[in-house]
Amino acid sequence: MRVLGTGRANGGISFLHALGCGNGCSAPIDLHMTVSLIDGKTENLDDKHGILEASLDWWRAKDLSLPEGDLGWQVHSDIPSGMGLKSSSALAVAALNALSNATDRTLTHLSIAHAVVNIQTQTGCSLTGGLDDAITASGLGMRLVDNNDLGYAAMLKIFNPLDLEIFIVLRGRRKSAIDKAAFEALQPRFEEACMKLLDGDLLAAFTQNGIAVARCLSDDEALRLYSDIESGSTDRVAITGSGPAIAVLSETNSAAATAERLDSLGLNFIRTRMLQVREDDFVVDPWEDEVWA
């Protein structure tokens, strides 16, 4: 089978869960996914939400050109799926980039973000559409966004990436369904975390969001782990997304001690870093005015 086009995307961790107050913020991490569009049908058993097929459907619906014949996909990823690490957004972003690469049709970041929100909503893999996750997965870094607004006004604030080591604690699969009412009940906590982001206190927002999400999920184990991992350190610990993975933010000079502490607690973890990204803006090409009309 021949590779027709290839796209790439990165994972991320949450600083503000969008279900809490409508605004969301994710930060990119140095875990990546590569998706290739190939000639010939394939089955993607790991794509349980049907994101790859939905990406093709979105492309066709916009009347964009496609290679002739049967099409399939190959996926290579070091982003654990179903853990709150933005793997679904990364899959959609990488698939759209592969389609773009295969057809020489350049999509701007705003178009990709719009498309990913549509794809994630249609496939039911995101309750909010995940605009903040789509932005992060596409390589645009860390932005506080209004998930209810897909226009330029949705970008509330842009942050410089933090120079931190990140440990991802893996805890199996999510044990319970997400209860929207639980998030609504703690909306003031998420609004406080949002205000901390707007004030530039990213680490305080990260911590507050993590505590609020754990309470919304009734995840007492996570709350205990927060305490155990943070004990005697300057690390910040929080659930990412809706879990179950827990992200640990550590200064470079204390990362070795963090790794030893996680080992001593018997935790399974991945070590990575916050991704340093290029400066960029959402710029719409003239042809896209027709696509979005």
Q: In this predicted structure, what is the pLDDT of residue 150?
A: 63
Are 61 and 170 within 8 A, CB to CB?
no
Q: Which of 224, 238, 264 is nearest to 168 (CA)?
A: 238
Structure tokens belonging to residue 63: 């009347």
pLDDT tens profile 154-183 = 778 889 889 999 999 999 877 677 899 999
Share of the chain above pLDDT 70, in %: 91
Shared-domain flag, residues 153 and 176: no
Higher pLDDT, 109 or 165: 165
* Among 7-11, 87-91, 231-235, 282-286, the least confident range: 282-286
Query: Rounded CA gap, 250 and 13, in Å?
Result: 14
Query: Rounded CA gap, 126 and 145, in Å?
Result: 16
Give the residue from 160, 183, 200 where a domain finishes.
160
Query: Rounded CA gap, 91 and 86, in Å?
Result: 9
Shared-domain flag, residues 93 and 216: no
pLDDT tens profile 234-282 = 999 999 999 899 999 999 999 999 999 999 999 999 999 998 765 544 4
Q: Is 163 exposed, middle or buried (0-12, 13-18, 19+ CB in 10 A)?
A: exposed
Task: Decide: helix, strand or coil at residue 84.
Answer: coil
Shared-domain flag, residues 197 and 231: yes
Shared-domain flag, residues 144 and 179: no
Higher pLDDT, 78 or 288: 78
Shared-domain flag, residues 35 and 51: yes
* Among 61-70, 134-143, 174-183, 284-293, the least confident range: 284-293
Residue span of the structural domain in which 262 resides: 165-273
Shared-domain flag, residues 58 and 111: yes
pTM across the whole model: 0.91
Shared-domain flag, residues 108 and 236: no
Shared-domain flag, residues 112 and 193: no
Residue 36 is given by DSSP the state: E
pLDDT tens profile 38-78 = 998 887 667 889 999 999 999 999 989 999 888 999 999 99
Q: Is residue 280 part of a domain?
A: no
Shared-domain flag, residues 78 and 205: no
Are 124 and 109 within 8 A, CB to CB?
no
Shared-domain flag, residues 101 and 42: yes
Q: Is residue 155 part of a domain?
A: yes
Shared-domain flag, residues 193 and 68: no
Q: Is residue 265 part of a domain?
A: yes
Share of the chain above pLDDT 90, in %: 71
Q: Which CATH number belongs to the domain containing residue 215 in this structure? A: 3.30.70.890
What is the tally of structural domains in the chain?
2
